[in-house]
Amino acid sequence: MSALRPYALRCDHRTTPLGIDDSAPLLSWRLASDRRGDDPVAYRVRVAERPEALADGGQPHWDSGRVDDSSAIGAGYAGPALRARTRYHWRVEVWSASDGAPADAVSWFETGLAMPSGAAGQSGKSVWRASWITHNPDPVDVVDAPTEGERALDDHGLAPCPLLRRVFSGSAVSPLVLARLYVSARGLYEVRLNGARVGDAELAPGWTDYTRRVQYQTYDVTDLVSQGENVLAATIADGWWSGFVGFEPRRAGAHYGTFPQFIAELQLTHADGSVSTVVTDDSWVTHTGAIRHADLLMGECHDLRRAVDGWELPGFDARDWSPARITDAEHRLLVASVDEPVRAMAEVRPVSVTRVSQDTHIVDFGQNLAGRVRLGVDGLAAGARVVVRHAEVLDENQRLYTANLRTAAATDVLIGDGRRHIDFEPKFTYHGFRYAEITGVPALSGDDVVAVALHSDTPWAGSFDCSDPDIRRLHACVEWGQRSNFVSVPTDCPQRDERLGWLADAQVFLPTAALNADVAAFFTKWLRDVDDARTPEGGFTNVAPRLAGVADEGAPGWGDAGVIVPWHLYRTYGDPRFLSRALDGMRGWVALIHRHNPDLIWRHRVGPHFSDWLAPGTPTPREVIATAYFAHSARLTALAADALGRHDVAEAHHRLAAAVRSAFVERFVTVEGPEGGESERRLRVAGDTQTGYLVSLAFGLLPDHLTEGAAKRLAELVEAAGPALQTGFVGVALAAPVLDAYGRADLAHALLRRTEVPSWLFPLRHGATTIWERWDGWTPDGGFRAPAMNSFNHYALGSIGEWLYRGVAGVDQAEDSVAYRRLRVRPEPGALTYASARYESARGTVAAGWRRRGDGLSLRVQVPPGATADVFVPTTDPGSVREAEAAPGDSGHAALIGTGPGHAHYRVASGAYHFTAAFSPAERPPAGLHEEDTP
Ligand code: BGC
């Protein structure tokens, strides 16, 4: 039996997904082995409706046969058409080089209500029998006299949340074997079956451009259906569909629709094979209840005097409810969700509760996050109000600072009905906050209140640790920025009236995000939003999902995310569909820039220009940034086409990229000083800003003989500034990796350690628990920056997280490696005494960790099966380096390739390694530019 084993089986990057509608899903696995060099040589995948058919000699639905491919970590399903509403079991076997018998693992996936009949990714002819229904009369027309508690309460013009119910009877004849609920909303939904909550998705069905695509979810409700009377019940809310979204125009229902709607199809399969269906139609009845309004930006109000007790249970008398109204919405746009939903992912207890007046308390949860407050209240009199307001920070009087929320009221209200105890948690809103001000509760303790953190369920994949507590906290801030801003889409911020899927923020943060978590499914969904948002001219936009009715043309670095994101996902996960789905969009984007700028200098706007957004100091010339991105996008489009075997497309784009690079150098790069006197020659990129050099180097715009001059000037500028950065969103993501790549990891470390503005540690010194939008969102001298744009939870500047994994700990892959097939472990210790990172890559576990003790350093590396690693062991004496655990038979697995200034370079096979080396920093030669001696 082989030690090699497949694990973490995924279908389309999700574990046992229910209800997919992809006709050729990717079935993938990771590999583990406790032996060195235990690499896969072949795999076989079988798919069958019955698990027994997966055995040898069985009749599977699809059998890939043995495929000799040592790099494979997945197989695209290529069998007969998959049927809708069917569970498929699958089994992967993997052969290793060392053993004859394969190791195997099994999993399953289930198809959704409909499978596509044509166009890729979109459901074909509708098989939905359900109708879209809504409250009748329209919730907007509901004019109930306000209760005492509601009087003088700002409802922001929002209507109460409709309740919808339908009674059905379970079959008495044949027992139920399976029940599936397919459900969606134009708006948000919560469904209950016989009072029990269905699933644990929050803010479902998630945000898409609902004029293009509406995701539905599938739930297994077999255990919730009973034999007698059953009740299927839903509460629906405005959400992104008909609530306040973004900042413009400032009214609810401005973008997609004006009132929420619901669709559901419940399929009951009985033991005798019969299938019965309960669908949304006009036999449903509706009413309004306790939730008087619910909005993502404004907050939620529950008036318990309006609560309808027992409405979601059998036996309720609904005679005074109105029949639901069928709307004219189509089924055409309904697609199975491809991501995991938002879920309640953590609960954070208060670190303090401070009474600030007779019935008002300020609760500090100690962590800025996105989510909501759950509160236990005793003895709230009928009509009495509890008001929960949220803020990220406190002002100088220790009261909530809410000016930076702009028009987002972020206020939840509970109106009592005299009940003894109430647990209050809003359902259809979320806020970005660390503090809550709770009014209306005379006595409040930390046990009564908890913050519930919500975010898209992206399985956590990475961890980072190091000896400096400040840098550990910085990493935690980066993680919380990710948690708070991956809420159905990657948002800029979770608190103010914005929360949009800004493309540049996403592209600069993606390399960090994809090391922290498995974001493959999350970004699969968002890339559809990016594609759906494309302009009629073929360009990408600045935000996705598109806000219907808002014209939006991509800016340099923003629109380019439509190229950069799929490329990075492909490199990370090895799934070529990231590229095949995106290639048309990539080509369209590059062609559009080219069309507007035939002389190859991107100066004619495609969209607006945000430059190096929020950079302090001298702005980088716009044409420099724009043209750099033009070259970068053209090159990545060429690489994508190469990877897909589209060589004609690749060649044309390689040519274009080369031409743009030449135009860039000709137009923006000057070299002054005496010919031949290289050390005195001064290279300048127009504008002479850090970001100008960063984009030139990071995007490979300069011919080899100019890179050293550019790196030198970059380092001079960084040093002269502090050392400090003078970069905004664009430059900051590139800074540490570029400095490191050009031999100045020392400067990257100095930037990390810096505590003055601008730096990552300055906010931390002043209480930050997430990354700020601005380097100087608050300063002791100036106080808060202008509230119009001052978020304390923006992940863009958190793009440094990538370098913590790659540069500090050493978890990285070679530039031309895909899915961690060729690791590059080149840690830079700086002044730290240890650092380590562990990452669940698409191929298996990658880990690197080093520690200094006295004059020595030890480095442990883990390389997953099927991968190799180039390990650069940091040392002051390359001759001292040993591989500590080499067993006699292991000799072939680690080879010394060479030594260079400050390291010994080994190439190792898969497996675990432990290197030791002499390391006395005082003697350490300055790191050079990767040149190497042979041993
Ligand atoms: C957002 C940014 C975004 C920018 C575009 C801001 O309002 O918060 O994160 O990228 O606009 O310039």
DSSP result, 424-481: E--SS--EEEEEEEEES-SS--GGGEEEEEEEE---B-EEEEES-HHHHHHHHHHHHH
Q: How far is the centre of ligand 1, averaged over its atoms, from the C-alpha of 495 (Å)?
A: 13
In the predicted structure, residue 1 carries a pLDDT above the cut 60: no
Pocket test for ligand 1, best of 505, 605, 609, 732 (most atoms within 8 A of CB): 505
Q: How confident is the model at residue 142 (pLDDT cuts 50, 70, 90)?
A: low
Other beta carbons within 10 angstroms of residue 247's beta carbon come to 16
Distance 505 CA to ligand 1 centre (A): 8
Least confident of 292-296, 301-305, 672-676, 803-807: 672-676
Contacts of 774 (CB under 8 A, 6+ apart): 614, 785, 789, 790
Topology adopted by domain 344-456: Jelly Rolls (2.60.120)
What local confidence, expressed as pLDDT, does residue 890 receive?
61
Give residue 152's pLDDT band: very low, low, confident or very high (50, 70, 90).
confident
Ligand 1 contact via 492 beta carbon (within 6 Å): yes
Specify whether the CB–CB gap between 452 and 374 falls below 8 A.
yes
Range of weakest confidence among 137-151, 181-195, 708-722, 804-818: 137-151
Q: Examine the pLDDT at 141 and tell me if it is beyond 60.
A: no
* Residue 49 phi, psi dihedral angles, 5° rounding: -75, -35
Distance (angstroms) between ligand 1 centre and the Cα of 596 equals: 24
- Give the Cα separation of 513 and 495 in Å (integer): 20
Q: What is the mean pLDDT of residues 683-687?
A: 97
Nearest CA to ligand 1 atom 5: 610
Closest ligand 1 atom, residue 791 Cα: 8
Confidence category of residue 121, pLDDT binned at 50, 70, 90:
very low
Which pLDDT value is given to residue 420?
86
CATH class, range 822-923? mainly beta
- Per-residue model confidence (pLDDT) at position 147: 76
For ligand 1, say whether the CB of 505 is within 6 Å of any of its atoms: yes
610 CB within 6 A, ligand 1: yes
929 pLDDT above the threshold of 60 = no
Nearest CA to ligand 1 atom 8: 492
Looking at ligand 1, which residue's alpha carbon is closest to its atom 3?
A: 502
Q: Label residue 613 exposed, middle or buried (CB < 10 Å: 0-12, 13-18, 19+).
A: buried
pLDDT above 50: residue 931 = no
Burial 594-609 (b: 16+ CB within 10 A, else e): beebeebbbeeebbeb
Position 935 scores a pLDDT of: 39
* Nearest-5° Cα angle at 524, 521 to 529: 135
pLDDT (average), residues 907-924? 89
For residue 933, pLDDT beyond 90:
no
Which pLDDT score is estimated for 249?
62
Positions of CATH 2.60.120.260 in the chain: 132-339, 344-456
CATH 2.60.40.10 region(s) of the chain? Answer: 5-111
139: confidence class by pLDDT, cuts 50, 70, 90 = low
Between CA 640 and CA 586 the distance in angstroms is: 9
Ligand 1 atom closest to the Cα of residue 492 is: 9
Whether the predicted pLDDT of 179 surpasses 60: yes
Mean pLDDT of 500-507: 98
Q: Which CATH number describes the domain made up of 5-111?
A: 2.60.40.10
Q: Which DSSP string corresponds to 263-311?
A: EEEEEEEETTS-EEEEE-STT-EEEE-SEEEEETTTEEEEEGGG--TTT
- pLDDT score recorded for residue 123: 45
pLDDT over 70 (residue 642): yes
785 C-alpha to ligand 1 centroid (Å): 16
Residue with tokens 């898969």: 910
Summarize the confidence of residues 258-268 as an average pLDDT: 97
- Closest residue by Cα to atom 2, ligand 1, is 492
Distance from residue 794's CA to the centre of ligand 1 (Å):
9
In the chain, where does the domain assigned CATH 2.60.420.10 lie? Answer: 822-923
Please give the mean pLDDT across all residues of the chain. Answer: 94
pLDDT-based confidence at 174, cuts 50/70/90? confident
User: DSSP code of 750?
Assistant: H
How much is the pLDDT for 923? 61
Compute the distance from residue 714 Cα to the ligand 1 centre, in Å: 26
The answer, yes or no, to whether any atom of ligand 1 lies below 6 A from the CB of 612, is no
Of ligand 1's listed atoms, the one at least distance from the Cα of 794 is 9
The DSSP symbol for 332 reads T
Query: Domain 132-339 is classified in which CATH homologous superfamily?
Result: Galactose-binding domain-like (2.60.120.260)
> Between the CA atoms of 8, 13, 19 and 23, what dihedral angle is there, to the nearest 10 degrees?
-120
Which residue is listed with tokens 């990796």?
A: 737
**One-letter identity of residue 386:** V
Distance 116 CA to ligand 1 centre (A): 37
Ligand 1 atom with the shortest distance to the CA of 558: 10
Residues known to be catalytic: 498, 773
Residue 242's SS3 state is helix
Q: Is the pLDDT of residue 613 over 50?
A: yes
Of the residues 247, 489, 492, 495, which should be mutated to test ligand 1's pocket, given the most ligand atoms within 8 Å of the CB? 492
pLDDT per position as a tens digit, 349-372: 999 999 999 999 999 999 999 999
Q: What is the CATH number of domain 462-809?
A: 1.50.10.10
